[in-house]
Amino acid sequence: MNDDIKLFPPKFKNTYHHWMANVRDWCISRQLWWGHRIPAWFDEEGNYVVAKTETEAIELFKIQNSKFDIRNLKQETDVMDTWFSSWLWPIAVFDTTVFKGDGNKGNKDLNYFYPTNDLVTAPEILFFWVARMIIAGYEYRSELPFKNVYLTGIVRDKQGRKMSKSLGNSPDPLDLIANFGADAVRTGMLFSSPAGNDLLYDEKLIEQGRNFTNKIWNAFRLVKGWEIADIKQPEENKTAIAWFEAKINASIEELNDHFTKFRMSDALMTVYKLTWDDFCAWYLEMIKPEFGKPIDKETYNKTVDLFEKVLKTLHPFMPFITEELWGELKERGARENIIVASWPVSAKYDVAIVDEGKLAFELITQIRNTRNAKGISPKESLRLHKKEDGKINLNSFWPIIKKLANLNEVFSSNEKPAGVSFHVNATEFTVALESKIDAAKEKESIQKDIEYQRGFMASVDKKLSNEKFVNSAPPQVIEMERKKKADAEAKIKALEESLARI
């Protein structure tokens, strides 16, 4: 209860306390064919002795009866309860001499490994096993056996039923591994397994794990497929590397925090986003050379170093593919495996470039959405208008924006061209579509958007005009509603201007 041993999640402290404070007698005898036999021996009349060995038992019977016939000796057939032996697990796996009265000194292995750091188990055996290991630790070693207990949830099917053999609702893990791969099964289960909470199993989770594995493999194939040349490094590649270095350092900080708090699902999601979104979707696209052209040596070498860091963060969740790619990424010695590589350390990073990158990607996404909405081919270059009074800072990212959004011109003027307008961080941009749009359809689309924004603004106005809401809501909530109203007003104004230009 003093957190000398911590339970994760801590809600199980009360359960533990209830069991320990209301402890009851427990039957140590089990009618099984296996287990530790009870050291009691009987004669034919039902008298018994307790001894360490059969020889000692015979001697004890002879003390009671010098004519004792050893042929009548019979050992108790019941065995000790399962927990009687398993409570000694943290000690007995290293050394059994501590139970022989040698002053609990222990051997070299036991003194090195005991106490251990973490125990992972299920909450239903918190008392039957965890509590008993703690008791045995203090009894035989005068010390706790472990520092943290991570309690997993119960895996249930889609109907919420506990998986069991009798219900036949449990998938065969070997079949899943054969169909999807071991790493896919591991990550699929971890995507939705917060500590102490039950996990609703769905094969779609395993499919998501397989898709993630494929994404990593394809990223490796892309990088290893590039031709390397001793050419000048493009400026956009320098920006991309600086951005991803900052991003990976921020992610490692976040990941370590999740690990220390035993938030395994959150830790996996951090790595998932770093790999899928930041590394594959953005970084590799930023540095990817034009089709048929080589990549500069400096960018390639740095990309391999960054890929190695990504693989290290993935390794606890996906040990097989990461070990395979680690060995293929570059030449290594016989013992230079990822499993014994050092964990990546987070260095001081530039927060500003992370924020700048976020805005740049939002702008690229908006331009791509405009292409999709208007049916414009990604191969067709576009012109982008930036309002002159816009204060957004994207200086180092403009070459990347032009490359990924396929822009042939970025210009500023007081006169906005006909096209699709949107805001990024309060700065208005317009994709110029003078000869690429159907005026009638565009008017109809803008008018619908204006109607929607007006309806949304009316609902916000209704809230802000409600005295009860204004007087009872927290100040930050009121401020958020006012910001929503201001944003809607700005969008309506921009849409009306676009409509007028058409």
Return the closest-CA partner of residue 181 out of 209, 220, 221. 209
Which range has highest mean pLDDT (115-124, 240-249, 443-452)? 240-249
- pLDDT at residue 141 above 90? no
Residues in CB range of 234: below 8 A, 6 or more apart: 296, 299, 399
SS (H, E, C) 397-410: HHHHHHHHHCEEEE
475 vs 17: which has the higher pLDDT: 17
Q: What is the pLDDT of residue 248?
A: 97
Question: Nearest CA to 305 among 282, 329, 321, 286?
Answer: 329
Asked if pLDDT for residue 437 goes beyond 80, the answer is no
Phi/psi region, residue 194 (left: phi>0; alpha: psi -120 to 50; beta: rest), is: beta
State mean pLDDT over 207-211. Answer: 96
Q: What six digits make up the tokens of 241?
A: 């590397």
Predicted confidence band at 118 (pLDDT cuts at 50, 70, 90)? very high
Predicted confidence at residue 23, as pLDDT, reads 83
pLDDT of residue 267: 94
* pLDDT value for 104: 62
Mean pLDDT of the residues in the chain = 90
**Does the pLDDT of residue 435 top 80, yes or no?**
no
Identity of the residue numbered 366? Q
pLDDT category of residue 48 using cuts at 50, 70 and 90: very high
Instruction: Place 196 in a pLDDT band, splitting at 50, 70 and 90.
Output: low
Which of 102-111, 117-126, 224-233, 379-388 has the lowest average pLDDT? Answer: 102-111
pLDDT band at 357 (very low <50, low <70, confident <90, very high): very high
Is the pLDDT at 103 greater than 70? The verdict is no
Strands 427-432 and 419-424, bridge-based pairing: antiparallel
State the Cα–Cα distance between residues 466 and 483, nearest whole angstrom: 17
**pTM of the predicted model as reported, rounded to 2 decimal places:** 0.78
Listing DSSP states for 122-135 in one string gives: -GGGIIIIIIHHHH
Average pLDDT over residues 363-386: 91
The predicted structure's pLDDT at residue 98: 64
Query: Which residues 6+ apart lie within 8 Å of 399 measured at CB?
Result: 234, 235, 236, 239
Supply the pLDDT for residue 383: 92
Interatomic CA distance for residues 72 and 346, integer angstroms:
72
Q: Which two tokens stand for residue 491?
A: 């969008």
Q: Let me know: does 406 contact 378? Beta carbons within 8 Å.
A: yes
**What is the band of 258 on the pLDDT scale with cuts at 50, 70, 90?**
very high
Average pLDDT (476-483) is: 88
Q: What percent of the chain has pLDDT over 90?
A: 55
pLDDT at 396 over 80: yes
Express each pLDDT in 1-46 by its tens digit: 999 999 998 999 999 999 999 988 878 888 888 888 899 999 988 8
Structural domains in the chain, CATH included, are: 6-38+76-151 (no CATH), 173-340 (1.10.730.10), 438-502 (1.10.287)
Instruction: Provide the edge-to-edge strand list for the sheet that holds 382-386.
Output: 407-411, 382-386, 427-432, 419-424
Q: Is the pLDDT of residue 128 over 60?
A: yes
